[in-house]
Amino acid sequence: MSKYVVRETALHLLTRIGEQGGFSHVLLDQEINKHDLSKKDGGLLTEIVYGTLQRRDLIDYSIQPFIAGQKKIKPWVRWLLYMSVYQMLFLERVPDHAIIHEAVEISKKRGHKGIASFVNGVLRNVQRKGPQSTDHIEDPVQRLAIETSHPEWLVKRWVDQYGMEVTRNMCEANNHHLPMSVRVQPLRLSRNEAIARLEDDGFQVEESPLSPQGLIITEGQILKHPLFIEGMLTVQDQSSMLVAEMMDLEKGMNVLDACSAPGGKTTHIAEKMEDEGQITAYDLHEKKAKLVNKKAKQLQLTSISASQADSRKLDEKHEPETFDRILLDAPCSGLGVLRGKPDIKYHKKEQDIFALRNIQDELFEKVAPLLKQGGKMVYSTCTVDRHENEEAVRHFLEHHSDFRVDPTFIEELPEALKDSAGMSEYGLQLFPHQWDTDGFFLTRLEKLGANEEK
């Protein structure tokens, strides 16, 4: 595929994602598979699409002086400008004149000479005069929001919760590539065996400090490797691997995974239990529950049974105190996964956080009675908002005197995390800039016996 066609494809994806709300990671994977793109072309397409989405607001601000007076710019023309300016400002491999030439050619093909002339004029102004500076923006929150292309309401919220330094680090990390990490299926091969085989095949890998099953892939296309295709590896962020690691699992346990799709954590639980015991998994959507069963089959795990259900109604399916362990990986705003899904930050509204919190509270309320006395429940989210994390846990504990944060939770964390700045009395908050992971929260609660006290 020529670079011209790659850029046409990038424009098609960006326009669809930006205007119709498609999920960037899903559409990008579909396009790469559809065209069976080479590593080089797939990498360029991914870089342009993700990079443009990550930097959209900064680019829009940068070109404002050069598009002033234009009454209406067609969406595809605006996205063509965005992706072209992104390449000019952030990619060093392609010279400006080649970027401008291809943008003009696409304009002629999709539009007419007038559009081509406009695109050419804007891009040449950016080339000659440089982008509009943010230096004169006096409000530090507004300036950070524009410089890192995050909604101003979100930056303000994070500054209020964590301070300017953490917020800046978090926003900047969200605009950089998230390393691929995978989990070894330990019932089929060891981590050392996986490392040896991958390195023999030219991969560069590192051991994850957060899970003894985790590997970080720094070089190589793991999705095309036989170890992945044959179900000996599964893609999972390092932060997500912490969940099963911290559930204090044993063989033969009866475990509930209340919100299980797409199945990464569910299958990890089965692996930690050596596939001995019973894992009952649910998801609100039948199609997603089937994905969990498919993932289990791929990894040759037989202890998982996934089906569709609203976990707020599980008291209709299970008796109280049925499960030894419960995982409540709750639906959340997803504000911790912006590195891999940058379009989320443009679609979310502040009120979404409060609506989701209501669901989180309901789930807590409904699944807690299903845990045995002495049992343990892990609560986790892929967000970095205190309202969905520490405050949700605090609210639950205030209304359930028979639960407490497990006092052994902190001491059982991986050594690398024991002095984490994200630790509070209610759990652990991982920030995306700390360990090159998604933003993630988890805690472990213990259900007390009748005569125990908090």
- DSSP 3-state of 444: strand
Long-range interactions of 17-21: CB distance < 8 A, separation 24+:
17/49, 17/53, 17/343, 18/53, 18/56, 18/75, 18/79, 18/343, 18/346, 19/75, 21/343, 21/347
CA distance 364 to 329: 10
DSSP string, 363-376: HHHHHGGGEEEEEE
Q: How far apart are the first and last CA of the chain?
A: 63
Residues 343-367 as b or e (16 or more Cβ within 10 Å = b): bbbbebeeeebeebbebbeebbebb
- Verify whether residue 332 is a known catalytic residue: no
C-alpha separations of 362 from 282, 310, 351, 358, 395 in Å: 16, 11, 17, 6, 11
- The count of C-alpha atoms lying within 13 angstroms of the C-alpha of 141, restricted to the half-sphere facing its C-beta, is 11
| Catalytic choice (171, 259, 332, 382) | 382
Q: Residue 391 is inside which H or E element, if any? A: helix 390-398
* Torsion sign (Cα): 254, 257, 260, 263: negative
CA distance 366 to 311: 7
Q: Residue 114 is inside which H or E element, if any? A: helix 113-129
Indicate which residues carry an active-site annotation: 382
